[in-house]
Structure formats: structure tokens, C-alpha cells
Structure 1
Amino acid sequence: MSNQATLRITREINSIQKNHDLSIAVACNEKDVRDVKALIVGPADTPYEFGFFEFAVRFPKAYPDSPPSVTATTTNGGRCRFNPNIYSQGKVCLSILGTWRGERGEQWSSAQGLESILISIQSLMSSNPYENEPGFEHANSSEDKKNQKAYIAKIRHESLKVSIVQRLETYLGIYSDGTLADPPPLEPEDPDLDVDVEPEEENAMFEPFKDLCKRRFLWYFPSYMKAIAEVESDHHQGEKFVAMPFESPGNMMPGTFDYSSLKKRLVLIRQVIDMETARWAEEGAHLVKRESSFAASLARQRCLLVETYKTRHNLTLDIDLHTPDNPFVWILTYYGRPMTQLDGGIFRIRMSISPRHPDEQPRVVFETKLFHHRIGTDGVLCYFPKKLDELGSHVDAIIEAIEEENPPYDPRTLVNLEASRLFWGADGQGKKTYNRMLRRSVQASLEGE
């Protein structure tokens, strides 16, 4: 591969990573820039909603004159055909990739790139994926309409089961029987080993999206549970999926409905992520004991931020430690700015920092209840730092998230479903109710509720 092609691939990857798109993520293998993994988060209001769909991308030596090859890897071991154009064996049928016949002008050109490919794949994940099957425009019979409903139903179920539940269970070491793998010891085997965190094995699998999926799971957990609540009564336990006319042996999506099990597995995943977050503090305490340079750096960063926020006009923010001498859990006390919706409120916010930061991003929870579309009912905050590796950027983003009064509508950022429904409701009364409930929670913060 020419240097020019390598530079172009690198630029395309960097461009996607920098634009902070909430639906697309990419990462390349450090040993070979042509070996790329991509993650597409299923669009809202579709049966793919907030699922995690991974694709392997391989760039040819002739790139960009020839398109890359793209293989779907979220297939449940070749048993899930998630779309008429995304086969269970991983084939992605798109004219832009040269894997499907298309109209003139739809073929690959060197002006296109990785982002346009991923957006094209994402467009297949519609509210009615049956429409991607050729001849859909003529599918108007009652049987066709019944098939469309059945297809949507099984895609929704398998999106939850395969792309979310099974993926997170693998990341967290949860076995099929609900038991957990033993966590690694807090102390390294060699007490004289001069490292802050145990390095990963050299032959470890290239898994760049673990932390992203865990954080997004915390955001979207209420949406997953709501999706199940809305449809579980439509399908009895063990009901078989309906086979589609376009499915064939070896390229289909067999299975049965089991929403009862999915609910239990989702709840367990949520509990294990909380356990993992708590373990960060334990790991941090051990690093402090070993006089880790990273622990010392965290302590310095906190002290610098404390001084920085003392000089911020019209803003009062305290940054303390949850436990003395352990800088891996920060407690932010935010005082609502005057003349804002948060005026007079006092909010305690826990910021848990991983010993592997920035590979694992902080997890932020409001311990003081605040009725807000960016804050889940369990206190989990959805926020976006401009610089992932700078904790000061995280603190700034936390404040920006809760103070923004007229945010654009984006269903990928809405973690409090009731607050979001009111804020962006069809009538003006909903917004008034939202503001009233927000102010009530601000007042309650003063009363220690």
C-alpha cells in the first residue's frame, strides 16, 4: 500500500473519531492501519434501537480506487441475519461496496470513504427493515404486512439479545448461567513490578469498544427495559420466530422469544457494571499504597482544578475526595448559578475514575436527585467531554450538560425518558411541567431530599 493511501485511511479514521458522532465509532489495529473495526449504534425508533453492531473493515492496497471489504461480525456466530442486506455470514450487500447491483451513480468512487460507507450501512437499519428486500414495493398483501410485523419483532428481540446482552456479558465475564468470572487480583503477581496498571497480554483480542458500550449501556438501560415492556405481552414465552420469504438455510434468523430472561440479564449487567465501578476505587487505593505515578497525577489534577474553579466567575464548585488520599473517586458539589433554572440548588456528584483512564472513561452519577433529561432516574449522567484524556474537560462537560437550557433534540442523549417526553412534547404544557418538576428537584436539594 502506498504512503498516500495510508495517510488517507489515517485521516479518515481520525476525522470520524474527532467529530464525536454518537452513532459511529472506529478504531484501527496499531500493527496495520488497514485493519479497522467499526461500531454502529442502532438508530432510535427502530428495532435496532441503541444496539451495538460491529463490522470488520479491510482496506485493499488499491484504496481509494477500490472500496474496502466490510464484514458484519455481530451475527451470533452466523445465526442472525439482521437485515435483508446484512447476511448471517457477515456479507454486507451495498452497491457502494460492489456487493450489490445498483443504479448508475451508486457505485464506488474515490470521492467516497469510510464514513460514507458506515452511514450507508446505518441507513439500512430503518424502522421497517423489510423494505430493503428487493420487490418490497409490491409487497402489499395481508400476508406481506404480517411478515413485516413479524420481521420487525424478531429483529428487535435479537438486537437486545445479541448486540446488547450477549456483548456486555462477554465484556463483563458473565457466564450463561448468570455466574461471574473471578476478577483479577488487585496486587500484581510480582510485587516489585514497576507498573501502574497491569498490562494487557500481547495476544489479547483487539476489542476497542468495550468501554464505549459499557457507558452507553448505562445511558440506554431505561430504554432497553422500556422496549421490552412495550412488546413482551405480544409474544408468549418460547414462541418461534417467523421465517421470512427471503431467508434461506444458512442465511436466516431462527430463534424464540424470551423477554423474561432478557430482562433478568439486563438487570444483572447493570449490577455488574456498578460492581466494576466500585472496584475502580479499590484498585485506586492499592495504586496509592504503591505510590503509583498515575495516582499522584490524579491528585495533582484535582488540586489544580480546585484552584481553577475558584477563579470562575459566577460559579461555585467544590471538588473533594470521597475517601481521604484516594484520588480515584471525586465528589463534586455544584451550586446552581443565580438567574438560572438551577439557581439555589446544591448537588452532590460522584465521579469515578478508572486506573486505566483514558482507555476507560469516568462514570458520573448524581447522588442528589435532579429531574433533567440528561440525568437518568438512577442518577447516571449523559455528557460529552471535548478532550477525553483531560479530567478538567470532563468537569466542564458535566456543568455544560446540566446548564444547557435549549439543547437540540437528539434521542441518543436522552436518558430520562419521562423528562425527555415532557421537554420535547408536542404541546407547550409539557415543557411547563418539565420546568416545574426541575425546579421542585432543585428546591428538594436544599432540603436534603
Structure 2
Amino acid sequence: MANQSILRISREIKQLQSNIDLSLAIACDDEDLRNVRALIMGPPDTPYQFGFFEFSIIFGTDYPAGPPVVRALTTNHGQCRFNPNIYSCGKVCLSILGTWRGDRGEEWSSAQGLESILISIQSLMSSNPYENEPGYELAESDGDKKDMKAYAAKIRHESIRISVIEPLECILGIKANSTINPTDEEEGKDVDKGADITDAFADLRKRRFLWYFDCYMQSIAQGECEVTRKRRFTRMPFENPGNSMDGHFDYPNLRNRLNQVKDAIIAETMGWTIRGKAAQEQEAGISENLRRQYEQIVEKYKNHKNFTVDLHIVDGNPFLWQLTYFGRPMTHLDGGIFNIKIYLSPDFPEDQPRVFVGSPLFHYRVAKCGILCYFPARTDDMRCHVDAIVAALEEESPYDPRTNVHPEATRMFWGSPDDRKRYNRELRRSVERSAE
């Protein structure tokens, strides 16, 4: 029975890890599959937008007959309740987990699994989380509506501060002038910011941060228009001492810290070439592996007579590749010449490449800093990375807000017919400038 349980858990973990899902990530110790960490991305267009919310999931020996034990870890060390159903102590209240009463048919069954649990938790992160509290789904008074707006406002602020900035400051070793919770200051607590951070998600956090940096800044600009600096958070009727979200707004502070984190990640990326050069001189295996992959890719393009891509290693360093993309005829990129740098880590593939479009390109998949949002079919194969880079530039696929990393370009591309025309004009201008 125990072996069947482990096989079931292993299969579910592999399925989640093999899927290219931008919202969910899983990490586990191969020697202890029952102890899993999960990262859930806050859904777009909600107060949780692009936040990194981490959970501990412990499977019992009776799984799948019984649900696992799930605990939220993104709680500001037990001081922040991020949802009516996600307590500051880490408790996640869901009928599927047996931690909340539910209607018939909503309780756990062996047909459910890890993915359905994570999706159920993510569904709590709605555009109006206030309504997750039982008894408030029919709230219609002016006071209730005011509370709903105030609740969403403080979640938006704390999602950026607690789920995005502070973990990355810890990972990057940044000592920031952070906003201290008044209760910590009064009680003299020594807060260890790194206590709840799982290293397995460090690279994911960094890459996604660069993707969504402009979206975070846009949220800050929106917040500054709605609240004044140092204004205290409004306590909700369902919040209690020790199980609430307390504090105050300080968007200017968040903006400064976001910029510090961005600068540190980009500096780390540039530093990979130096570390890579040292690895090459020491004849490290990763250096030879990347050089061999590069040669295979060049040979592939040569044999296929692909003239849209030119690839070479910069200064003989296999940890820095330059890809020149020539826009395909009869497309909006026709005539463009785009220089793209692929920075590779000596810890590849654990640390994934970071790709910067050097030529300014007005594209919904290219952030203002030049970082490209793309998804390789295989993370350990650089051929898949190069193919995915080209596919991202040429993409015109169904709308997915998680892949849109340039807010202004996104609004135009997915807006009205006139907006789309404006997008195409801006794109053509950047194409023309790239060829000058």
C-alpha cells in the first residue's frame, strides 16, 4: 500500500514538472517524495498578480485515500493573513483538504490529486478575495464595498512586498530599508527573512521577476494614485489579532527596493560570463557541454539552410552567445535585424538562461529592459532554447496574460482594432530602427 502511495505521488509530481505551466512549480527531495514544496503564481488582474506564494505539502501514508497536509509559507513569518481562507499561521481552509466544511461532493476523493489541490488554492486568489469569507458573498452595503476595495488594496501592496521583494532580497543578499511591521518593532523580534525561502525556486523567482518587473511598477503607480504614503491598512471584520494583515502603505519604498532587486539580478547575470570564463579555464565539464551544444545547433541551422538565425559564441566564451535574428519576409518583423544575447550560468541547467534583446523592440513578449519571455520544450537542451526564442518573437498565439511582459504593448496588441494598428506601427518603427 505504501509503495502504491509513493508511486502515485511520484507520478503526480512528474506530471506537474513536465507541464509548461506558468502558474505552478514543484520542488521535492528525491529521498522524501512525501515532503513537497509548491510555488503558486498570483493570477493576473488580481491583487495577488505575479506574486510568489509558497506552500508546504506533506502526504500521509494513506494518500490518496486522504488529502495531504498543506501549509502556507508566505505569511511574513506567521504575521500576515493573505486571504480569508489562508491564515497567518499557515492554515489553508478548503473543503477539499478537510480543513473547512463544504457541500456534499466538495470533500476530498482519491480521484483528486496534487494539481487539483494547487488549482483550488489558486482559485482563492481572486480579484475580490473579500468574498471568500463565508457570509460576505452577498454583501451589498456601501460599507462592505468600501471594505472590499480596502482589502484588495492592502493585499496588492503586501503581495509585492512579502511575496516578491523580500524573498529575492534574501536570496540576493540585499540589505534593504524594509517596512517593519509595528508588532515586530514593539516586541523587539529578530526576524529571519530567509526562514521560509526554498532555494529550489530561486532561479524561477529571478527570471519571473525580470519578466514582470514592469507589471509590478505599474501596480505601484496605480497604488500611489489610490492611497497616501504611511496610511494604515484597514482591518477587516473577519480579521483578528494574530490572524490579520496589518501595516501601512509605502509604495515609494517598494519602488526603490524593486529597482535594487532588478539591478542585482542583472549584475548577477552579467557576472555569469566572468564565472564562465573561469570555469572554461579550469576545463569544467559544463563549459565543454555548452560548446558542444552550440556546435550542434550551428550545424543544424546550416543543414536546414535557415537564414533567419545567425549564432556565435562571444569572445570564445561558451557562457555568452549572440543570436542575430533576421525578420522573416511577409511578417511584421520583415527587414529587422535583432541582436539577442543569451547569458548562460555555470550552474546550467539549474539556472536557466536569461535572454536580452539588445535592439529596442516594441513587443508584448519583450520587457522594457529587453528581457525576453519564452518557454523551451526542454530546459536542459539549448537547441530547444534557441527554437523557443525565435518562436516567441514570431508568436501570434491566443491571449495569455502570463506571457505579456510589456504592459503598454500588451494593451495595444490585445485591444481594439485601432489599438492593434497602433501596436503594428510601433513594432514596425522598432524593426526599421533595428536595421539602421
Task: Tell me if both proteins adopt one fold, taking TM over 0.5 as the criterion.
Answer: yes
Question: Which amino acid in structure 2 is aligned with residue 383 of structure 1?
Answer: Y
Question: Which amino acid in structure 2 is aligned with residue 436 of structure 1?
Answer: R
SS at match of 1:208: helix
- Quote how far apart the aligned CAs of 1:312 are: 2.6
- Quote how far apart the aligned CAs of 1:247 are: 0.8
Query: Which residue pairs with 2:408 in the alignment?
Result: 418
Alpha-carbon distance in 1 for matches of 2:14, 2:137: 39
Distance 1:314 1:291, change over 3 A: closer
Alpha-carbon distance in 1 for matches of 2:285, 2:26: 30
Query: Which residue pairs with 2:68 in the alignment?
Result: 68
Is 1:155 equivalent to 2:145 in the alignment? no
Question: Which amino acid in structure 2 is aligned with residue 283 of structure 1?
Answer: R
The one of 259, 263, 275 aligned to 1:267: 259
Structure 1 ranges of 4+ moved more than 4 A: none
Query: Which residue pairs with 1:355 in the alignment?
Result: 346
Is 1:245 equivalent to 2:237 in the alignment? yes
Aligned residue pairs, count: 419
Alpha-carbon distance in 2 for matches of 1:257, 1:338: 50
Query: Which residue pairs with 1:195 in the alignment?
Result: none
Query: Which residue pairs with 1:187 in the alignment?
Result: none
Query: Which residue pairs with 2:39 in the alignment?
Result: 39
Alpha-carbon distance in 2 for matches of 1:446, 1:176: 42
**Is residue 336–residue 344 contact of structure 1 (8 Å, CA) maintained in 2?**
yes
Alpha-carbon distance in 2 for matches of 1:229, 1:418: 14
- Quote how far apart the aligned CAs of 1:206 are: 4.9
SS at match of 1:122: helix
Is 1:429 equivalent to 2:424 in the alignment? no
Can you list the C-alpha shifts for 1:126-185, whole angstroms capped at 9, x where unaligned? 00100001111342222211111111111111001000010111111111348xxxxxxx
**Is residue 167–residue 197 contact of structure 2 (8 Å, CA) maintained in 1?**
no
Is there any run of 5+ residues in structure 1 with no aligned partner, and where?
Answer: 179-203
Percent of counterpart pairs with the same letter? 57
| 1:277-288 equivalences in 2 (<5 Å) | 277-288=269-280
**Is residue 81–residue 253 contact of structure 1 (8 Å, CA) maintained in 2?**
yes
| 1:30-109 equivalences in 2 (<5 Å) | 30-109=30-109
**Is residue 314–residue 337 contact of structure 1 (8 Å, CA) maintained in 2?**
no
Question: Which amino acid in structure 2 is aligned with residue 352 of structure 1?
Answer: Y
Alpha-carbon distance in 1 for matches of 2:84, 2:197: 30
**Is residue 309–residue 316 contact of structure 1 (8 Å, CA) maintained in 2?**
no
**Is residue 35–residue 59 contact of structure 1 (8 Å, CA) maintained in 2?**
yes
Question: Which amino acid in structure 1 is aligned with residue 79 of structure 2?
Answer: R
Alpha-carbon distance in 2 for matches of 1:177, 1:30: 38
Is 1:381 equivalent to 2:376 in the alignment? no
Query: Which residue pairs with 2:316 in the alignment?
Result: 325
Is 1:438 equivalent to 2:427 in the alignment? yes
Alpha-carbon distance in 2 for matches of 1:407, 1:439: 19
**Is residue 52–residue 163 contact of structure 1 (8 Å, CA) maintained in 2?**
yes
- Quote how far apart the aligned CAs of 1:306 are: 1.2
**Is residue 315–residue 337 contact of structure 1 (8 Å, CA) maintained in 2?**
no
**Is residue 29–residue 206 contact of structure 1 (8 Å, CA) maintained in 2?**
no
| 1:146-225 equivalences in 2 (<5 Å) | 146-177=146-177, 206-225=198-217
**Is residue 310–residue 316 contact of structure 1 (8 Å, CA) maintained in 2?**
no
Query: Which residue pairs with 2:330 in the alignment?
Result: 339
- Quote how far apart the aligned CAs of 1:398 are: 0.2
Distance 1:206 1:147, change over 3 A: closer
Query: Which residue pairs with 2:391 in the alignment?
Result: 400
Alpha-carbon distance in 1 for matches of 2:89, 2:351: 32
SS at match of 1:282: helix
- Quote how far apart the aligned CAs of 1:313 are: 4.3
**Is residue 176–residue 257 contact of structure 2 (8 Å, CA) maintained in 1?**
no
Greater displacement, 168-177 / 244-253: 168-177
Is there any run of 5+ residues in structure 2 with no aligned partner, and where?
Answer: 179-195
The one of 358, 372, 376 aligned to 1:367: 358
- Quote how far apart the aligned CAs of 1:234 are: 2.2
Question: Which amino acid in structure 2 is aligned with residue 416 of structure 1?
Answer: H
SS at match of 1:26: strand
Is 1:128 equivalent to 2:159 in the alignment? no
TM-score by length of 1: 0.91
Greater displacement, 295-304 / 216-225: 295-304
- Quote how far apart the aligned CAs of 1:292 are: 1.5
Query: Which residue pairs with 1:302 in the alignment?
Result: 294
- Quote how far apart the aligned CAs of 1:315 are: 3.2
Alpha-carbon distance in 2 for matches of 1:134, 1:102: 11
Query: Which residue pairs with 2:140 in the alignment?
Result: 140
Alpha-carbon distance in 2 for matches of 1:205, 1:97: 24
Alpha-carbon distance in 1 for matches of 2:24, 2:317: 35
TM-score by length of 2: 0.94
Question: Which amino acid in structure 2 is aligned with residue 30 of structure 1?
Answer: D
Alpha-carbon distance in 2 for matches of 1:299, 1:353: 11
**Is residue 335–residue 345 contact of structure 1 (8 Å, CA) maintained in 2?**
yes
Can you list the C-alpha shifts for 1:246-276, whole angstroms capped at 9, x where unaligned? 1111111111111110000000000000110
Alpha-carbon distance in 1 for matches of 2:402, 2:168: 19
Alpha-carbon distance in 2 for matches of 1:9, 1:341: 46
Alpha-carbon distance in 1 for matches of 2:361, 2:142: 48
